[in-house]
Structure 1
């Protein structure tokens, strides 16, 4: 046995020798079988045996490092994992010496020591350290200089947003730092730590694997053995939030002194450290007099809300940033409202340093809110005092608001208002019509109609209107519903009564007319009969209106064409034996209120009688009557082709009964008129419809009432 073999057997490790150029092993001690399960002969059989059995994750790095150091002629040591004959993992520490011949590396001699147990202990310590750092949200790392092995804890990998299996190296780790100042500083710090053992503590920016920018605090220290740096290690912490808070505090500090808002800085125990000028001006307290005092105790007063104080206390206790509104008091007891924003401020170690509070005076805003509440209360009082059922609806046809009358009538609860279908209580025959009217109102701006509501098997007739309003570019329909059931029933009774009245008036006028006719027959003089006939025709013109009202069952208006046509027949029959006269009627198809129809009929009766009696002498004649409605005014033209009248007609001073009646009727119609009597007789007149009078509102419902209110 050679001396080298005896030495090899006495060492608990694998002693080996290899060619420096080819890395073919020339000698491997028997401990290879004991430690790795491989016979020495297996090492000799292949130049790549060693490299082939290094753990795949360590192979490239270990082979490269050994080759590099050999070329440089430097003895070296490094750690790596090998796979044993049973597939197990063995950690080895390889100490290598370079043997020179003729000034060049010729052979390598080394010792592979099994450090698996040592590594297991280190891994357990590292695992416990990882868990501790993870709980503290601080990652740790270490770089073995001899093995050129960089380790990142789970927290560091999470911070860089890389997978758990990611294997870092120094070059790639530095690449994460933001290009520019951050990358330059970390490069210089790591280089200095490796060369000189200089520690560092830096706050720098990184760009994570997912492209996110973060601020980190990285600390590094060196482990020095025999005057050489063998390892650097340290911690990495995400300080992005702290950085933001720091920048925020710096920004606030710049403006705090001069800002119009109140600024208070307190210590962790809520003792005042600093206030700005705005605080002193608003409260009357000076900083020198209140340092160390609790701002809540100092500023809160008798009407400060207890629940608000409790919410603030809880958030302060748990160090939660918050915004709150509260009533405070000045030094002389004057109340004022503030909106306060409180932010806890931490140092680099995550320790609470102070609370930073910015407070805005919102006293005037609160006063406006009180005024607004009073206005809302006032508006609700008005709405609830309305006699009908008030509603407010959005474009989705959902009810937003109703008054108390509506709530009571339909038994509506405030909580379920939005779920109510407002059309569900409408009679099926009216439902589609009402919905269509509502939709049209959102386009046209207004709607009104009568509809039937069915509630608890009872029918009610409602007059419903709606007006479009726009608030904040949203459209709403507001309106009222009036229960007109009793009115409609009363109206039916009134219509029956009124019909009977018209019938009796017509009959009475007919009796009067008949009596006058009998009296006229007794008159011996033909000329004496003419005034009597005129009276009879005048009475007939009034009776004819009541007859048409009765026959048509309309108690406020008559068809003016039918009415004038009947009057014309009466006059024609009166003078049929004297001469032939053709009467032409050009009358627009329309209804006219009896307020205009009766005086207009009597006026035309007078004109017809005059034309028949005086206009044509012994000749046949033509009469034309035109009645139109243009731009809401009635236009009437009466003309004959008779001999006309000498001179101008003036109604200022009238001498005959006929002209007096014509003047009276024109005045009653409030007509604008003009006579033309040159070789003919023509009367042109215009007058407005009358909305007031003895017959104008006999059967009006709420719709007519509403129409008048809008016109007036």
Structure 2
């Protein structure tokens, strides 16, 4: 056979080919279509040429087809794909495409054909396999194949997601290695059963170790497929039920807790339906009613209650069925002339938004009611007494106080209920040792009395004599404490006043002894001299030397008497002014500087160095004149009794706080003195310890101590011979 030129041959191929051959430009328009388009799509060439190829594509295949065209432009390769085209009769026709992009022509060259039946079937099988694989991979079941020994020969499904194992971690290993020892016998028995039958074998609730070491709860189905040559294994489909198992476990635990609460609750618990039929009752209820379970359960509550009480219980039952919790008191006759006080709570039982019953919780409060009545009687008695009465629980927390307690302390009952008395009544002067003794006695549970400083609500100090008595129940346990508080503040103030008077009397007696000493010693001698010389002078010649000497001696004795009388006046003035002197805020640094200035010449001549450590603005409540005199006397003594071997150094320090008071330290490096020998006489009148060293009458330190005590303070001293002396002054 002879053929014409190649172009005529190509025309014949395109005209007689069963495949549709076409050219499509870059915009997707047909520029050429062979005659086969009529057989494949029902359109002739003229109907397709110039039309957009995308307008015939099934909507579900549109995006994928467009993506194929874009990728071909960049890869310049041939590709094969399938989509669906709309036939001229309106049906969707599957079309298999072979497409190549020509960059030079900017054209897609395509061959399209209808897939054969075998290709369609093959494609359907492939799609089903893909669906199957997707179900296996993304489904909830874990799939496995085992040989007769239980070794893994295949692992798939959700095994990786649920247990964390890759297939290669399991294939070849025995499944029983991963099963909990307690569950192994059950699984082995199921495997033996599966090997002996073609029926499905189901195993529930067993534990399988995950890749993390955690035990997972599984259920599985085994089916023997050893006879199936294409499988030849035991097929297992397992599901993770850990969450379900845990939920069931929590439900069981909750049921057990409820059952324990129901069975062992000391209160009576009944479960009633809408017409008051008792569905269940706990042992405490059976004991209370003195009946067995059979005689109560499935009977109406009204059958075991007195007639006058049953309607009340029914009323509250119906109210509880309106989805409200209700509570009420009842007095229940139990014997002739006897009764029980009960407190009833009814709570609706709701399941799936429906009230299926009511819990009736009954508590015997007879003892509580009786205690309240007794307490009420006691309160009537306590209300009539002038003493404060406090009733606390065994834990020490206040349950009740009477009006006298409020009048005495200022605290009302609502302010103190639930509090311990010590938490709000104790203060700075409350004796910790007394508080400790109270705690010990309360622990011992015995009656006792104590005296204690407490504080009113206003902050005023209050002395109380407290009698505390424990209250015991029938079992010998302390249930309450009753404290009766008597205000003895006036008595304590009188005692303090008497003590102060005794101290003042002692001090006056001591001063009287001092004055007796002055009269008998310091004053008697000059008086005797005056009397003797007064008798002698008239007898002497006024122009004689003896007369002049006697007159001079008389004058000296009179001056000596005057000095002693001035000392007595100063002492008496200071003593009598205690508590009556003018109190003022005195700047310590200022008065020390005043005293130092008055002795400046002597300090300079002696080469003394006075060091002050006193805050500039530090003040103390006292008397300016007294403090000036105190520092003047101490500085004068330091100068008089300085050491000849070294320059005098005096250090004055002041420190303290409003809480601690003021402390003043006065230290010198003078001669010092023997504390054991002279310490007891240091502050006595006319006592001197360095005779022959300096002039002095032994009055300065006596006055220092007297003035400090007049301001409510005290003074202490420590000294060492040839080292120095330190005075410590304490002012409030």
Shared fold by TM > 0.5?
no
User: Normalized against structure 2, the TM-score is what?
Assistant: 0.32
TM-score w.r.t. length of structure 1: 0.32
